[in-house]
């Protein structure tokens, strides 16, 4: 694959645009980045199709009504923006198993799907236990110049680097 084609967007430009969007969001709508509640609300909207009375009686859904709100639109915007970004950078392609995963763990789409789903469940349980989206908190707190936001983001990056080093370490046996 052509290295120039797979380059993607400049990370500094993407970071600056993200910062601009979060500042504009806080200024115009009074909302900071966050998305975990929208997934729970979406599950509630789906469950309402089958048992509306049960959803109406659940304490969580009384507090967080399952409805289309700004977070669902935010996540939809992320999906659309990611698609536009991939198309404009020339890096868009449909694949069930990313090259990096395949080189380390093999081409099994089922294995990749199970691991991705399990990771997603763990992340959502953690987000619910924390009372919201940790990455959204990190960005939102950082834009307000809160030291806790910097601490959270540094810990995320450090944890991500450690996990990536463990998962994608070079196999010395080859």
Do 8 and 28 reside in the same domain of the chain? yes
| Same domain (yes/no): 69, 6 | yes
In whole angstroms, what is the distance from residue 39 CA to residue 7 CA?
Answer: 31
Quote the domain boundaries for residue 152: 97-174
Same structural domain for residues 60 and 110?
no
In this structure, the answer to whether residues 19 and 48 fall within a common structural domain is: yes
**Among the residues of the chain, which ranges form H helices?**
11-29, 36-57, 59-63, 70-89, 99-105, 109-130, 134-143, 147-167
The string of pLDDT tens digits covering residues 76-112 is 998 998 899 889 888 888 888 888 888 888 888 999 9
Tokens of 108: 């099994």
* CA atoms within 13 A of residue 162's CA, in its CB half-sphere: 6
Looking at 71, 93, 115, which one is the last position of a domain? 93
Tally the domains of the chain: 2
Do 138 and 79 reside in the same domain of the chain? no
> Do 32 and 22 form a contact (C-beta atoms < 8 A)?
yes
Domain closes at, from 42, 66, 93 = 93
Query: How far apart are alpha carbons 26 and 97 in whole angstroms?
Result: 37
Are 17 and 89 within one domain?
yes
- Sole residue written with tokens 């380059």: 7
Residues 148 and 62 grouped into a single domain: no
Looking at 93, 112, 131, which one is the last position of a domain? Answer: 93
**CA pair distance 16, 70, nearest whole angstrom:** 22
Report pTM. 0.71
Write out pLDDT tens, residues 25-80. Answer: 888 878 877 787 888 889 999 999 999 999 999 998 998 899 998 888 888 998 99
């Amino acid at each position: 694959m052509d290295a120039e084609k797979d380059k993607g967007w400049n990370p500094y430009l993407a970071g600056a645009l993200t910062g601009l969007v979060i500042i504009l969001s806080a200024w115009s709508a009074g909302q900071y980045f966050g998305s975990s509640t929208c997934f729970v609300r979406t599950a509630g909207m789906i469950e309402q199709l089958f048992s509306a009375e049960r959803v109406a009686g659940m304490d969580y859904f009384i507090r967080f009504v399952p409805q289309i709100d700004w977070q669902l639109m935010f996540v939809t915007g992320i999906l659309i923006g990611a698609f536009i970004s991939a198309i404009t950078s020339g890096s868009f392609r449909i694949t069930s198993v990313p090259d990096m995963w395949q080189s380390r763990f093999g081409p099994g789409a089922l294995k990749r799907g199970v691991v991705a789903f399990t990771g997603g469940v763990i992340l959502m349980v953690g987000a619910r236990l924390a009372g919201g989206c940790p990455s959204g908190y990190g960005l939102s707190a950082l834009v307000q110049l809160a030291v806790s936001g910097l601490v959270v983001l540094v810990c995320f990056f450090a944890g991500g680097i450690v996990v990536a080093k463990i998962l994608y370490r070079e196999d010395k046996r080859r």
